[in-house]
Structure 1
Amino acid sequence: MSDLFDTAADAPEPPKGPRPLADRLRPRALSEVIGQEQVLGPDAPLGAMLAAGSLSSLIFWGPPGVGKTTIARLLADETDLHFEQISAIFSGVSELRKVFEAAKHRRANGQGTLLFVDEIHRFNKAQQDSFLPHMEDGTILLVGATTENPSFELNAALLSRAQVLVLTRLELADLERLAQRAETDLGRSLPLDGPAREGLLEMADGDGRALLNLIEQVMAWKVEAKLDTKALTTRLMRRAAQYDKSGDEHYNLISALHKSVRGSDPDAALYWLARMLEGGEDPRYLARRITRMAIEDIGLADPNAQTHCLHAWEVYERLGSPEGELALAQALIYLALAPKSNAGYTAYKAARAQAKKTGSEPPPKHILNAPTSLMKDHGYGKGYSYDHDAEDGFSGQNYFPDGMKRPVLYQPVERGFERELKKRLDWFAKQRLQRGN
């Protein structure tokens, strides 16, 4: 038999030394998996599939350390499928061909294959397409794992043949259960008092594997008494929060920041600002987005909001980090507490829609300049009223294309400075009505 299928000949020697805690505590059955009830529960998608004896191809979408690889391996055990694992980071076309050929050989001998592809979003379109015929003819049951949004990173054809299941960060209660399981395996309790223990769980940031690695470090310390939070943080650096400046987390957090401002919650806005800055976000990007919030969500309800943001942006450019970040924080507080109006933003979008609808309709001739006699002969500028010469500085004449029904685009709200603008707008509308315009 070819070496392609005789894996024993090429199998690496097992590593020497003690197995890491995370490996020792890897669940041996789906019932031992901590968390992810929304996927594994009796009425959840995977639970229902297994109960019906019909497992389809899957995409696991979730952050690191939540059990994607473990669940895939256990699914293979539960369904008597051969488990094959590859990583899109290290695998290319030649490796995929070998995997597909091996799966075909197993299938011919009555053995199915569950192919687990880690970081599947790293494969390009052609590589993703290569899975399709083997999924359709039953050669492989694909289980892909990704930390990125499948809607953006995976081909529509691949998504149509697989069900996307969302795995979530482990809750503190889940992490506590995992810590207790680790203590049982190690035969002793963590040398931490209550607050320090909770602090250790928080350091893991919802990542079970990270927690077990932290526990191994703590258990290796030679201590006489239980450590408090200060002693723990002195000895152990806090794990960096998960934040991908070019991925989903980037857009999720800026969305949370924007909506907190729109919802007039300065505390939430400051929290999300701090999360992004702690994650290494470029403060200049935040300055630009904060200024946009002033335009989109405050608008003319408080004309000073935009100026305040521009000044904060300038202060940051002069001071840099970390001092300049305080100016951005103060601008954010100002926006959150300012009166809100998207009337200008809505009016602009409506104007764009009207412009597309009316095409190339010319302005009315009475507001066109007539620098030549020919243009005057064709009625350019005829009947134009100079508003400064009119009563109250308002002529009320028409400025839209001839024959176009006058739209109402800008509709100010009864908040902040727009309350004043609404009074002016209503007065102008009344004058037009009285003058038949």
Structure 2
Amino acid sequence: MADLFGAGEPDKAPPGRPLADRLRPASLAEVFGQEHLTGEDGALTRMIRSGSLGSMIFWGPPGTGKTTVARLLAGETGLAFEQISAIFSGVADLKKVFETARLRRSNGRQTLLFVDEIHRFNRAQQDSFLPVMEDGTVILVGATTENPSFELNAALLSRARVLIFKSLDEDSIAKLLLRAEEAEGRKLPLDAEARAMLMRMADGDGRASLTLAEEIWRAAKPDEIFDPEGLQRVVQRRAPIYDKGQDGHYNLISALHKSVRGSDPDAALYYLSRMFDAGEDPLYIGRRLVRMAVEDIGLADPQALTIANAAKDAYDYLGSPEGELAFAQATVYLATAPKSNAVYTAFKEAMRAAKENGSLLPPRHILNAPTKLMKDEDYGKGYEYDHDTPEAFSGQDYFPEKMGRQIFYEPPDRGFEREIRKRLDYWSKLRSERQARGKK
């Protein structure tokens, strides 16, 4: 089935074919939503004009036109079109395709090989494309919904240009629906609000918008017009585009984390809701909220970690959907809490110092001396018990002598860390005074 649809004349083929297939564009100029590639000055248009087509990787979400555009490219450049899917193909299938392409090339015609879901091939299988790309046997067009930088071999990427396909905007979806109505000879039985909701439900996927339109026509009674509530009842809502192991998952958790860090509770609640709506594991969300509490808030609000952990416990106790409110409460608390990464930064610096300075012995005065030999070696000698000193602060040095005193933790002057800052400054003053007295 095609995955992008345009303004081409509706196909008068036998009934039973999906609407999406019948509305497939007949040329690149008829493709909706990818004008940066197929428009007058688009990247693909320029390639065709130059008469030189190179290997490419089409990266974008489902239903944005990757398969359709690959077919049209082959048609407009006179290349033979071959299509395989990484889901259903193995080494034997690849060898067969390559042999056919070599035979075709010996007869003077090049092959455009379209590989759907190319990221699903393992690295060895991806490497098998390199020789036939280099000697011109095939022009490879791979399609992927995943980030090519993470999923494809560097060698393959170095020989192919990555072109990004965008989700269709509402204007493009609206044009598709108008074409569908023209093809069907009837209007969609939706009021204005329901029509707008249908475009949002499509989630930027052209094929999905036409599939939903077909569902509506099948469900509608004569003269029935659906409002938003009726639309939701009929189509039962299409699941959002979201793969818990891939880009959609990481994009949303990144958006949630950065919204919390940016002290925007409304945006944070929106992305939290998006993740729940997509079926994300609630305990994964809970773990990430705990991470936000320690990374971005820290001691600016010591309660943040307690709140985040309590939300996880509440979810464990209540389950869904009641427990989701606890995560919402924690998200708002974290977003509105004062922010500090001082502990996070200090810990990284301390880890760096620990690795760089090796196994230095702590100063002897803070080492325990449980044996006579250790006492003879001055372990524990000169240690001052802080509780026995004025203000319970001895001001002694606790770093290894070869390393010298270091400062890793620099609390900002906000939230609870404002008080910590005052305390540290006061102790620093006492330390300097006592060390100065000790030198006299």
- Report the TM-score range of the alignment, normalised by the length of the smaller protein: over 0.9
Residue matched to 1:167: 165
2:60 to 55, 59, 62: 62
Give the stretch that moved more between structures: 196-205 or 95-104: 196-205
1:203 to 186, 193, 201: 201
- Does the 8 Å CA contact 2:29/2:39 hold for their aligned counterparts? no
Cα separation, partners in 2 of 1:429 and 1:53, compared to 1, 3 Å: farther
1:143-182 CA-to-partner distances (Å, cap 9, x unmatched) read 0011112122111111111111111211111100111111
2:113 is the alignment partner of 1:94: no
Residue matched to 2:76: 78
1:323-370 CA-to-partner distances (Å, cap 9, x unmatched) read 111111101111111111110111001100111110111111111111
Deviation at 1:55, TM superposition (A): 1.8
Residue matched to 2:4: none
Q: Using the alignment, how far apart are the partners of 2:298 and 2:142 within structure 1? A: 45
2:279 is the alignment partner of 1:290: no
Query: Which SS does the other structure have where 1:85 is aligned?
Result: strand
Residue matched to 1:22: 20
2:181 is the alignment partner of 1:193: no
Deviation at 1:279, TM superposition (A): 0.9
Residue matched to 1:375: 374
Match runs of 1:206-245 below 5 Å: 206-220=204-218, 221-245=220-244
Return the letter of the residue paired with 2:187: S
Q: Using the alignment, how far apart are the partners of 1:347 and 1:154 within structure 2? A: 36
- Does the 8 Å CA contact 2:83/2:116 hold for their aligned counterparts? yes
2:384 is the alignment partner of 1:399: no
Query: Which SS does the other structure have where 1:198 is aligned?
Result: helix
Structure 2 residue runs of 5 or longer lacking an equivalent are: 1-12
1:93-133 CA-to-partner distances (Å, cap 9, x unmatched) read 11110100000011111100000000111111111111010
Return the letter of the residue paired with 1:278: D
Residue matched to 2:433: 434
Deviation at 1:66, TM superposition (A): 0.6
2:155 to 154, 157, 168: 157
For this pair of structures, how many residues does the alignment match? 423
Residue matched to 2:116: 118
1:46-70 CA-to-partner distances (Å, cap 9, x unmatched) read 2332232222111111111110000
1:362-403 CA-to-partner distances (Å, cap 9, x unmatched) read 111111111222222222112211111212111111111112
Q: Using the alignment, how far apart are the partners of 1:358 and 1:232 within structure 2? A: 66
Runs (4+) off by over 4 Å: none
Residue matched to 1:315: 314
Return the letter of the residue paired with 1:347: A
- Does the 8 Å CA contact 1:191/1:223 hold for their aligned counterparts? no
- Does the 8 Å CA contact 2:360/2:402 hold for their aligned counterparts? no
1:8-55 CA-to-partner distances (Å, cap 9, x unmatched) read xxxxxxx96443211111111110000112333444432332232222
Residue matched to 1:339: 338
Deviation at 1:432, TM superposition (A): 1.9
1:229-280 CA-to-partner distances (Å, cap 9, x unmatched) read 2332222221111111111111111111111111111111111111111111
Query: Which SS does the other structure have where 2:216 is aligned?
Result: helix
Cα separation, partners in 2 of 1:345 and 1:36, compared to 1, 3 Å: same
Residue matched to 1:9: none
Return the letter of the residue paired with 1:292: R
Name the Cα RMSD after superposition. Answer: 1.5
Deviation at 1:228, TM superposition (A): 2.3
Q: Using the alignment, how far apart are the partners of 2:375 and 2:36 within structure 1? A: 75
Query: Which SS does the other structure have where 1:175 is aligned?
Result: helix
Cα separation, partners in 2 of 1:142 and 1:387, compared to 1, 3 Å: same
TM-score (norm 1): 0.94
TM-score (norm 2): 0.93
